[in-house]
Structure 1
Amino acid sequence: MDWTRILTNVFGELLAPTTAAYALAAVGLNIHFGLTGLLNFGQAGFMLLGAYGFAISTIAGLPIWAALLVAIACSVVFALILGIPTLKLRGDYLAIVTIAAAEIVRIVGRSTALTDLTGASSGLRGNSYKESFQALSPFPDGTTDIGPLSYSNNASNSWWIRLVGWALVALACLLVWRLTNSPWGRVLKGIREDEDAVRSLGKNVYAYKMQALVLGGVIGAVAGIVYVLPRAVQPDSMGRPMTFFVWTILLLGGAATVWGPVLGSMIFWAALMLIKSVMRSTVPDTVMRTEQIEQFGWIVVGVTLMMLVIFRPQGLLGDKKELAINVR
């Protein structure tokens, strides 16, 4: 078994654009659930809308800053449409509504009636919208080796995407840290614990929930952009499983913490890569084929989520006294 190759792959996964995108999505979900107590199971919908808004705008010829604004606007509109009729719901009722809304976004995106706009089930090819982002890179064309890692400077899955992705994660964490220690953030925590008590103090709970939903959704939309920059915009790749992966990452690292989503994403993807790499090297094809190893890896993810909820609902960095998994 080639441990050098395996550990290199695992180390590379720690810095991968996908890891950064999921960390960013989990930061947005942390604002929903960790700070406010909203059981949002539709984060993948915000990510898909952000990806579509950015890609379609770029293909239409808009500059990258305008495409980013379009993606943010799409997430804001979606949050308002979703939140206005549903934010008075609590607990599992809100979860059902949000997961249904995300599925509506995915199904509409893959509709053949929108083939010219979204590419339907085939999606939008990455080469059709990546040029403007790659043109901003200060790096020369070619490949750069840093330690055991070797990636292109500007193409798909490049150092440039990694730099931008993790810079956005750092900015999002800084934002959450400032919000957590602000009066606005303390009101959100109060809503999470007992919204009736906060309402009795004269606070507009509905407005605070809406603000949290919009802000977390915007971060989710930016995460969707980071996610599709190394690949294509494919609606079926951003469905229900993506939301559950984001939830696993958040609960693994610790909800209501600043760095929990980042730690959770890095551990999640590195551990998954380690499991798959070791099994591919040790398990014969007669026992388990490659596609079965992939499925087994996701089984481990599901078992991990179950164990987390049962034995350590606060996650690795969370405080059990501050946050319980059973939000009303």
Structure 2
Amino acid sequence: MDFNDILQIIISPTTAAFALAAIGLNFHYGLTGLLNMGQAGFMLIGMYGYAITVSQGGSMWLGMLVAFVGAVLFALFLGWPTLRLRGDYLAIVTIAAAEMVRLIGRSQWLKDWTGGNTGIRGNEFKPPFENLSPFAPKIIEIGPWSYHGTTWWLLIVGWSLVALTAGLFWRLNKSPWGRVLRGIREDQDAVRSLGKSVYSFKMQALIIGGVLGAAGGVVWSHGNAVQPDSMGRVTTFWIWTMLLLGGAATVLGPVLGSVLFWAMFVFIKQLAPLVLPNLATQQIEPLALAFVGLGLILLIVFRPQGILGDKREISLNA
């Protein structure tokens, strides 16, 4: 078993991207009690908004602006008909909306923009960001980690964003705004009786978390490419697993959950062929996901608040 692969995934761009998306979901569920089951849709919006803008000749900064504005509009589109209702309606709408984004991305009628089934290749939108890298374009080893110079640049930017957004969550969670959101999570009727606009605060949380999901999509696309099926329905459940594993409503829970999720995933993928030598290659990843799902079930049963969480913070009456 090669433990170096586990070390590599711990700080990889994929882990940073999903940590950003999980922090966004923490604004939705952990802070406000919103059952957003379509965070993968926000990631796709960010990926496509950025990649299409840059591949069509726009600047990197314009691409980021388009990605974030797209996430805001997507949040408004989701929240407008649902946030005045109870949480289950948002869950239903977000599942459908995320799948709608994926199907639009892989459709043929927008192929000139989205690339259809094949998506958008990395060399069509990555160069502007990679050209800013201060590292030499070669493999650089730092301790047990070995990455290309442009990947080190992406790691620095990605994890810096994770640190900034975790700090943002900590600050807003301690603010009067955050206390209102926690009140909505516990008893929105009581908050409404105090003259607060529950709908407005929910929408603000949905937008902020959606923008962070889009940022995670942009980081993920630079580490991989833009392909619609890479952010399918299962992706949202991965993000939920990361959040619940680390602990909802905590500052570092989504980050720890993302690291542990991918470390466990790689560990099980390496362990499976040793325990089951006759296992076909295409069966290893589904088996790993099955064991991760089993781990989540056990976590919910024996420690529903997650590793860092407080059981008092998971009361949900939205």
Is TM (by shorter chain) over 0.5? Answer: yes
How far residue 65 of structure 1 moved from its aligned partner, in angstroms, is 1.2
* CA distance in structure 1 between the partners assigned to 2:217 and 2:273 by the alignment: 30
Which moves more between the two structures, 25-34 or 62-71? 62-71
Structure 1 residue aligned with 2:173, among 176, 180, 191? Answer: 180
Root-mean-square deviation (CA), in Å? Answer: 1.1
Question: Is 1:278–2:264 an aligned residue pair?
Answer: no
Q: Partner residue of 1:9?
A: 5
How far residue 309 of structure 1 moved from its aligned partner, in angstroms, is 2.2
* CA distance in structure 2 between the partners assigned to 1:279 and 1:100 by the alignment: 34
Question: Is 1:309–2:300 an aligned residue pair?
Answer: yes
How far residue 164 of structure 1 moved from its aligned partner, in angstroms, is 1.0
Structure 2 residue aligned with 1:106, among 93, 102, 108? Answer: 102
Question: Is 1:28–2:24 an aligned residue pair?
Answer: yes
Which moves more between the two structures, 300-309 or 113-122? 300-309
Per-residue deviation, residues 209-250 of structure 1 (Å, max 9, x unmatched)? 000000000000000001111211111111111000000000
Question: Is 1:322–2:313 an aligned residue pair?
Answer: yes
Task: Provide structure 2 residue ranges, at least 5 long, that are not aligned to the other structure.
Answer: none
Q: Partner residue of 1:18?
A: 14
How far residue 305 of structure 1 moved from its aligned partner, in angstroms, is 2.1
Q: Partner residue of 1:195?
A: 188
Q: Partner residue of 1:222?
A: 215
What is the DSSP-based 3-state SS (H/G/I as helix, E as strand, rest coil) of the residue aligned with 1:313?
coil
* CA distance in structure 2 between the partners assigned to 1:150 and 1:310 by the alignment: 38
Query: How many pairs does the alignment contain?
Result: 318
Q: Partner residue of 2:124?
A: 128
Question: Is 1:142–2:147 an aligned residue pair?
Answer: no
Amino acid at match of 1:224: G
Per-residue deviation, residues 253-284 of structure 1 (Å, max 9, x unmatched)? 00000000000000000011111112234532
Amino acid at match of 2:29: F
Q: Partner residue of 2:257?
A: 264
How far residue 322 of structure 1 moved from its aligned partner, in angstroms, is 2.2
How far residue 139 of structure 1 moved from its aligned partner, in angstroms, is 1.1
The TM-score normalised by the length of structure 2 is: 0.97
When residues 253 and 7 of structure 1 are mapped into structure 2, their CA distance, relative to the original with a 3 A threshold, is: same
The TM-score normalised by the length of structure 1 is: 0.95
Structure 1 residue aligned with 2:78, among 79, 82, 97? Answer: 82
Task: Provide structure 1 residue ranges, at least 5 long, that are not aligned to the other structure.
Answer: none
Q: Partner residue of 1:254?
A: 247
8 A contact 2:78–2:90 mirrored in 1: no
Question: Is 1:162–2:147 an aligned residue pair?
Answer: no
**Percentage of pairs with the same residue:** 58
Per-residue deviation, residues 58-101 of structure 1 (Å, max 9, x unmatched)? 11222111110110000001111111111122232221111111
Amino acid at match of 1:294: E
Amino acid at match of 2:189: D
Q: Partner residue of 1:71?
A: 67
* CA distance in structure 2 between the partners assigned to 1:147 and 1:293 by the alignment: 29
Amino acid at match of 1:255: A
* CA distance in structure 2 between the partners assigned to 1:268 and 1:50 by the alignment: 23
What is the DSSP-based 3-state SS (H/G/I as helix, E as strand, rest coil) of the residue aligned with 1:113?
coil
How far residue 170 of structure 1 moved from its aligned partner, in angstroms, is 0.4
* CA distance in structure 2 between the partners assigned to 1:135 and 1:153 by the alignment: 11
* CA distance in structure 2 between the partners assigned to 1:270 and 1:95 by the alignment: 28
Amino acid at match of 1:77: L
How far residue 183 of structure 1 moved from its aligned partner, in angstroms, is 0.4
